[in-house]
Amino acid sequence: MRTAFNERELDRIIEMAWEDRTPFEAIEFQFEIPEKEVIKLMRTNLKEGSFKRWRKRVNSGVSQKHLKKRNPEISRFKSSRQKAISGNKISKR
């Protein structure tokens, strides 16, 4: 398990965690950090209100953050319309 990430990797983890369609398993596969570590990372890098909103959304049942909750036909890790971010802000092309 990795504990230190550069800024680009940290931005990507936050982006993947924020997006409802990206499961925690995809984050673990790509960055070798389990769900609990993603939650800790989000808690330390987001404002308190943003973190609470994210946790509420992830736990509400609407989110597809766990593979066992999703439609089995969905197998992608990244949306084709997903944009790259830098500094936790969506960059313009």
Tell me how far apart the alpha carbons of residues 89 and 92 are, in angstroms, rounded to a whole number: 9
Region of poorest pLDDT, from 9-18, 51-60, 84-93:
84-93
pLDDT at 61 over 90: no
Decide if 26 contacts 77 (C-beta within 8 A): yes
pTM given for the model: 0.65
Q: Are 38 and 2 in contact (CB under 8 A)?
A: no
Q: What is the dihedral of CA 19, 15, 30, 10, to 10 degrees?
A: -160
Q: pLDDT tens for residues 71-84? A: 556 555 566 666 66
Per-residue pLDDT tens over the stretch 7-45? 999 999 999 999 888 888 889 999 999 999 999 999 999
Residue 17's closest CA among 75, 86, 81, 36? Answer: 36
**Element spanning 73, H or E:** none
Q: What is the pLDDT of residue 93?
A: 46
**Rounded CA separation 65/6 (Å):** 24
Rounded Cα gap, residues 15 and 45, in angstroms: 12
